[in-house]
Structure 1
Amino acid sequence: MDHKSFIDSLIFEYVNTFDVKRACQLESEGFPPEEAFTLERFTYIQSAALTLFLGAYLSDSSSTSFRKLSLIGFIMSTLADAPKFTKESMSYHNPFGKTVCIHTICVDKLYRRRGVALCMLKEYIMRLKNESQNRDMNGKYERIALICHEHLIPFYQKAGFILKGESEIIYGNEKWFDFVLEL
């Protein structure tokens, strides 16, 4: 399958309760242990912020009677009051917050470097913008905030995020950088 056909075959749906364990597994395989969330944290975010937990799925075309989807990547976020990602925003979900704080963007190792993460992030941004525009005059969300490692800076810039500088957050042994995308 060529690159365009592969990307076009992706299906984006909110991660359901049955796929939370798979999402947690993907993160534990792709992140250092000190950065990976627990299954309990995944379950909490899925129940508290369902429309902020988007999955990228591939369809199993071998099944003729029903469509079986396999989770190959996801974006998981919560809402916060602060205009940037903070230690506090990492801890809980404020359903009245206006800042979408992305905690994780993760893709199965078998599907990395194929454009899944960027495609998924663009879909995510579009959904957030649409949801905000379909609300009231003030909008539901004002911005998306995240922190990332230095080697991921070009990826987030390519997706339209603005680098705000080195983060005040200390998490693990590496430096983190703040990014924001105004909606």
Structure 2
Amino acid sequence: MIIRTATIDDLAAISAIEAECFPPTEAATENEFRDRLEHYANHFWLMFDDDKLIAFVDGFCTDEPDLTDEMYAKADMHSEEGAWQMIFGVNTLPDYRNQGFAGELIKQAISDARAQGRKGLLLTCKDKLIHYYSKFGFINEGISESVHGNVTWYQMRLTL
């Protein structure tokens, strides 16, 4: 398996995986991914099985201490010098789940954030995934203000 950051050429594959991993009310659109890739392609971690994209993690950097719904749609809020690495999505194709691939991408995002001198990483997740992200050192801060997709989200923070 190969891990690398994204380019605009990865747009179609990223969009296809997102559509397979999230319901339409929660999934980012191809246009949103285009905007994200134009602003922070180097904060997309992609995993390939040969030349097939099988999983990715993405999110921008900011000095804002909490993840907000506005961030999902406004890629221009990215600040390369931002203190916090946000994670907007952790996506793995169904046939590749439960094999540790998403975990490897999360570890890479953590390692890169540490190397870049960030304060830490934040994400939101559904209650059934709190235990999963806790394994990487993320702390549950309770119910997020996010109402993205009309779902209850929990904010998780990993301070480096």
TM-score for both structures, normalised by structure 2:
0.91
How many percent identity over aligned positions?
29
Match of 1:19 among 7, 10, 16: 10
Structure with more relative contact order (C-alpha pairs < 8 Å, separation 6 or more): 2
- State the partner residue of 2:114: 129
Read off the aligned partner of 2:101 and give its amino acid letter. Answer: V
Q: CA RMSD in A?
A: 1.3
| Residues 1:158 and 2:135 aligned together | yes
State how far apart, in whole Å, the 2-side matches of 1:41 and 1:55 are: 17
State how far apart, in whole Å, the 2-side matches of 1:88 and 1:172 are: 13
Q: How does 1:30-179 map to 2 (within 5 A)?
A: 30-59=21-50, 69-92=51-74, 93-95=77-79, 96-130=81-115, 132=116, 139=117, 141-179=118-156
Count of paired positions: 157
Offset, 1:170:
1.3
State how far apart, in whole Å, the 2-side matches of 1:52 and 1:107 are: 17
Q: Matched residue of 1:113: which SS?
A: coil
State how far apart, in whole Å, the 1-side matches of 2:130 and 2:54 are: 23
Q: Matched residue of 1:172: which SS?
A: helix
Q: Unaligned regions of 5+ residues in structure 2, if any?
A: none
User: Are 2:32 and 2:73, in contact at CA under 8 Å, matched by a contact in 1?
Assistant: no
Q: Unaligned regions of 5+ residues in structure 1, if any?
A: 1-9, 60-68, 133-138
State how far apart, in whole Å, the 1-side matches of 2:29 and 2:146 are: 20
Offset, 1:90:
2.6
Larger Rg: 1
Match of 1:29 among 20, 23, 42: 20
Q: Matched residue of 1:164: which SS?
A: strand
Read off the aligned partner of 1:99 and give its amino acid letter. Answer: W
Offset, 1:37:
0.6
User: Are 2:125 and 2:155, in contact at CA under 8 Å, matched by a contact in 1?
Assistant: yes
Read off the aligned partner of 1:24 and give its amino acid letter. Answer: S
Read off the aligned partner of 2:43 and give its amino acid letter. Answer: L
Q: Residue by residue, what CA displacement relative to the aligned partner does 1:79-119 show, whole Å, maximum 9, x if unpaired?
A: 22211111233332322422211111100111011111111
